[in-house]
Amino acid sequence: MTERVVYLCGDFVAESKATISIFDRGFTSGDGIYEATRTFGHKLFRLEDHVERLFNSLKYVRIDCGLSFEEMCHLSLEIVKRNVSLLGQDDEYALWHVISRGVRRPGTTQMGNPTVAIFVQPVDFLRYARSYLEGVNLVTPATRRTPPESLDPKAKITNKMNHNIALHEAQQVDPCAIPLMLDTDGNISETDTANIFFISKGCLFTPSSRTVLGGITRKVLFEIAQKRGIEVVEGDFTAFDLYVADEAFICGTSGSISPVKKLNGISIGKSLPGPITIQLMISWNELVGIDCVEQSLTHLSDNESKELLNVWKNLKSNA
């Protein structure tokens, strides 16, 4: 097999043959939800947590996808199984579920069946590799995170324009920046793809779940922190709290944990990654069964990869 296979509305088809109608509500109105899961060592991590969030999003937007929880999990595993032979040893997949309300029949108000797509895409390791050691730059854009009074951020909605505009604004300031969105009260919320944490005096702080997506990686980090005896505090925090923090990091499904270097041009902490961030990264790698940093760095050019792998090795040994 030389082409990936996609599940689309009841059938397994070649990726190049997977098509939807131009009248699909997901295309015309962003009327749908999505979910993204990742493999580690070619095995899906916390699939049931992701599928649970998927069904919570579906309930919120009033879409019945026509599949049970068990069927969705089975199809997810099947898609990875059918495509895993196309992966290299150091490659991984991001598994996507995209479900729209379907096609509204032209000239009527009648809706057809929902469009259900499940597919995989290779994780873009080059996007994350350097950030594990060099950190990411955050910028707070003018666009605020959509408030829960308008659209609840706990649902993963396919209409990402709120995040997209924030990204464009941040990258007008710094082409390599990631937007750290504020809520309508001026408190930090989330980036366009990740949750934010910061560390002060040994405690781990993160924005209240009221204005952020309940990230699965975020959830797992709560568990890791508890096992390590690190107190986790959820609350309302401003950019000022990050400026004076000892260290900070972002986390998400594909990239796992990346330290934050700067916010709005202000350096955070004294080292990258910070000492507690390194501990969490090591615990995360132990939990998923693979060194995510090492795996990503192997995708860089030979000389750069070798240099940064040595840096990472030394950081771990001194943690």
Q: Domain 5-123's class?
A: alpha beta
Question: Which pLDDT does position 78 carry in this prediction?
Answer: 98
Question: Which pLDDT does position 18 carry in this prediction?
Answer: 97
Each residue of 24-83: pLDDT tens digit?
999 999 999 999 999 999 999 999 999 999 999 999 999 999 999 999 999 999 999 999
Q: How far apart are CA 236 and CA 291, in angstroms?
A: 33
Q: Is the pTM of this model over 0.85?
A: yes
Q: Dump the DSSP string for 30-91.
A: --EEEEEEEEETTEESSHHHHHHHHHHHHHHHT---S--HHHHHHHHHHHHHHHGGGS-TT-
Is the confidence at residue 158, as pLDDT, over 80?
Answer: yes
Q: Which of 65, 40, 43 is nearest to 55 (CA)?
A: 65
Question: Which pLDDT does position 185 carry in this prediction?
Answer: 97
Considering the segment(s) 131-318 as one domain, its CATH architecture is: Alpha-Beta Barrel (3.20)
Q: How far apart are CA 294 and CA 299, in angstroms?
A: 9
Task: List, in sequence order, every residue forming a beta bridge with 178; answer none if it has no partner.
Answer: 138
DSSP 8-state secondary structure symbol assigned to residue 188: B
DSSP 8-state secondary structure symbol assigned to residue 264: T
DSSP H/E element including 158: none
Question: Which pLDDT does position 111 carry in this prediction?
Answer: 86
The domains spanning 5-123 and 131-318 adopt the same CATH topology: no
Each residue of 168-220: pLDDT tens digit?
999 999 999 999 999 999 999 999 999 999 999 999 999 999 999 999 999 99
Question: Which pLDDT does position 110 carry in this prediction?
Answer: 80
How do the domains of the chain map onto residue ranges?
5-123, 131-318
Each residue of 96-153: pLDDT tens digit?
999 999 998 777 778 889 999 999 999 999 999 999 999 999 999 999 999 999 999 9
Q: How far apart are CA 250 and CA 210, in angstroms?
A: 18
Each residue of 291-314: pLDDT tens digit?
999 999 999 999 999 999 999 999
Question: Which pLDDT does position 91 carry in this prediction?
Answer: 97
Please, are residues 118 and 95 in contact by the beta-carbon 8 Å criterion?
Answer: yes
